[in-house]
Chains A and B, each alone.
Chain A
């Protein structure tokens, strides 16, 4: 039983870790694109922006469990299988990316326009403004946003069990719910609480350290 819990925990950590990295790598560039193409951005492009915005909203309105099923063909294409921990990473990353995009976009829009103008007035390039002003200044809030997304991913990852994704959620459903092993369920819940707490505390700490 202990080894089962350890294995499931590792699966959960793998799913969350991998999808978190992918979410940040995909989500932040998308947020930058949304910011750049907005009316007040550095490269306004209403068409591209509305397309992207609409796409993100459309995906985000799909309940996660349905999204997992909808994505199955794509998952099979990318990972080679639609079941298992690796397969669960694909829908998790997509949902995570869009959450990151939303949160980080809001952070960008809250960055004082005056700070961007400092760069513009100095003749800085778009790349310099993005890296040295926008991202740098937004970093504490980005960390806070990504922390929230990570916690959401913990919840989403529990649903991975529905497609045989493994992890703690899967274990809780199979043993705790279907076999009615109440002790195991409590243990898993405690592990999840500890995991979420750890993520939140680490995120808060980093975000706080980054703020000056």
Chain B
């Protein structure tokens, strides 16, 4: 294949769990590619197979069929030795940290080095260096029971990185952290990604984690990839209903309750169209609204507005109503024109429904 710099290539991964009572298709043919150096997010509601997908990448789960390439080497066809070698370059940060309680911070970080058979000197040098990298230089001889959640997570990250890994897998790892610590850990990951060029795959159900650091995102639902693409595209222009619901609370885009109650999918005569506009910091908003009013001679009523951000970019969202009678043909055409006008100016627009005049 032409991809020489892929960290991960999955094709048609299928996993089925069989119990006495039922057959559970956890993954139904998942294919995806993650280029080297990416921060790649996998999001989905719980029970959609996203953790299982991650567990395929570190060898904890073996798919029934499909192919897994890590750094262009097949994990499934590898001999035992090759497999150990591939896995030694993959670090995993688990949801519950999984630190060994009887080992100090430094000894926990040293674990993969010990497994790889490094010399005592090597282990000391390397684990001290990694501890400094994640900001734990003053905690070398502390035991896990003496650490806060954020510190424990740093140890877990350091341990995952210790054997010079080039791929870091993070499984729902922020769910046990408070929001502040989450931000702190996410910026640590971003920093590691930039400084060491490590590819990061993180699994989460929290869209804010994705919007914070991921370049690309893949939305998983009932064992299938339903949407995949650059984070901005997916977040600003969600296509699938699962993506919609995951994105919706990110920008707090929900309508005021009064509006929501009267919203209908099909317009009645004299109804107003309700639109959600989402704009990035590079699209100017005010002139567009003004231009629409001028060009189409239609007043725009702003109901509510919000801002959010995706990585370092700020995004805003506005909910507006347009007094257009879309039951008429020319009204409908007018609405289409207006939608096209917004899109031309890189403002994502979505028709939420119709409400009676306020």
- Within B87-106, which residues are at the interface with A (CB < 8 Å)? 87-88, 90, 92, 94, 96, 98, 100-103
Query: What are 22 inter-chain pairs, A to B, with CB distance below 8 A?
Result: A112-B96, A114-B98, A117-B94, A118-B94, A118-B100, A118-B111, A121-B59, A121-B90, A121-B92, A122-B111, A122-B112, A123-B59, A123-B84, A123-B85, A123-B87, A124-B115, A128-B114, A132-B111, A136-B102, A137-B100, A137-B102, A140-B102
Q: How far is the CA of A136 from the CA of B107 in the complex (A)?
A: 12
Interface residue ranges of A99-144 to B (CB < 8 Å): 112, 114-115, 117-125, 128, 132-133, 136-137, 139-140
Assess the A121–B60 pair: CB atoms within 8 A: yes
Q: Which B residues touch A132, using CB under 8 A? A: 111, 114-115
**Which A residues touch B94, using CB under 8 A?**
114, 117-118
Assess whether B83 is in contact with A211, with CB atoms less than 8 Å apart: no
Q: Are A137 and B101 in contact, CB atoms less than 8 angstroms apart?
A: yes
CB-defined contacts of A115 to chain B, threshold 8 Å: 98, 100
Q: Which residues of B contact A123 (CB under 8 A)?
A: 59, 83-88, 115
CB-based contact A117/B100 at 8 Å: no
Taking CB atoms, residues of chain A closer than 8 Å to B86 are: 123
| B120 → chain A closest CB, angstroms | 15
Q: Counting CB contacts under 8 A, is B58 at the interface?
A: yes
A212 contacts chain B at the CB level, 8 A cutoff: yes
A198 within 8 A of B: no
How close is A104's CB to chain B, nearest CB, in angstroms?
16
Chain B residues close to A by CB (< 8 Å): 58-60, 83-88, 90, 92, 94, 96, 98, 100-103, 111-112, 114-115, 143-145, 159, 163
Q: Contact at A136–B98, with CB atoms within 8 Å?
A: no
Closest beta carbon of chain A to B334's beta carbon, Å: 58
CB of A186 within 8 Å of the partner chain: no
How far does the alpha carbon of A132 sit from the alpha carbon of B100 in the complex, in Å?
Answer: 10
Specify which chain A residues have a CB less than 8 angstroms from the CB of B88 in the assembled complex. Answer: 122-123
Known contacts A114-B94, A132-B111, A120 near B60 by CB under 8 Å: yes
> Closest CB of chain A to B337's CB: distance in Å?
55
B-facing residues in A67-108 (Cβ within 8 Å): none
Question: From residue A141, how far is it (CB to closest CB) to chain B in Å?
Answer: 11
Within residues 129 to 183 of chain A, which ones have a CB less than 8 A from any CB in chain B? 132-133, 136-137, 139-140
Q: A112 contacts B84, CB within 8 Å?
A: no
A212 in contact with B102 (CB, 8 Å)? yes
Say yes or no: B115 contacts A119, CB within 8 Å. yes
- Name B100's closest neighbour in chain A (CB-CB): A137
Separation of A187 and B98 alpha carbons in the complex (Å): 51
- Tell me if A190 counts as interface (CB < 8 A to partner B): no
- Tell me whether A210 is interfacial, beta carbon within 8 Å: yes
With beta carbons under 8 angstroms apart, the residue of B87, B96, B100 that contacts A121 is B87
A143: shortest Cβ distance to chain B, in Å?
Answer: 12
Once the chains bind, are B100 and A114 in contact (CB under 8 Å)?
A: no
Residues of B within 8 A of A212 (CB): 101-102, 143-145
Q: Is the Cβ of A136 less than 8 Å from the Cβ of B100? A: yes
User: B59 CB to closest chain A CB, in angstroms?
Assistant: 7
**Contact A120 B59, beta carbon cutoff 8 Å:** yes
Interface centre among B87, B92, B102 (most CB of A within 10 A): B102
Contacts of A133 in B (CB 8 A): 100
In the docked arrangement, what's the CA distance between A139 and B101, Å? Answer: 11
> Using Cβ atoms and an 8 Å threshold, which residues of chain B touch A136?
100, 102-103
Please tell me if the beta carbons of A117 and B98 are within 8 angstroms of each other in the complex.
Answer: yes
Q: Chain B residues with Cβ under 8 A from A125's Cβ? A: 84, 115
Return chain B residues, CB-CB under 8 Å to A137: 100-102
Q: Tell me the nearest residue of chain A to B58, going by C-beta.
A: A121
CB distance from A212 to the nearest CB of B (A): 4
Which residues of chain B are near A117, meaning CB under 8 Å? Answer: 60, 94, 98
CB distance from A112 to the nearest CB of B (A): 7
Going nearest first, the 9 A-B pairs with the smallest beta carbon separation are A123-B87, A123-B84, A121-B58, A212-B143, A114-B98, A124-B115, A121-B92, A122-B112, A123-B88
Question: In the complex, what distance in Å separates the CA atom of A128 from the CA atom of B112?
Answer: 10
Residues of A within 8 A of B87 (CB): 121-123
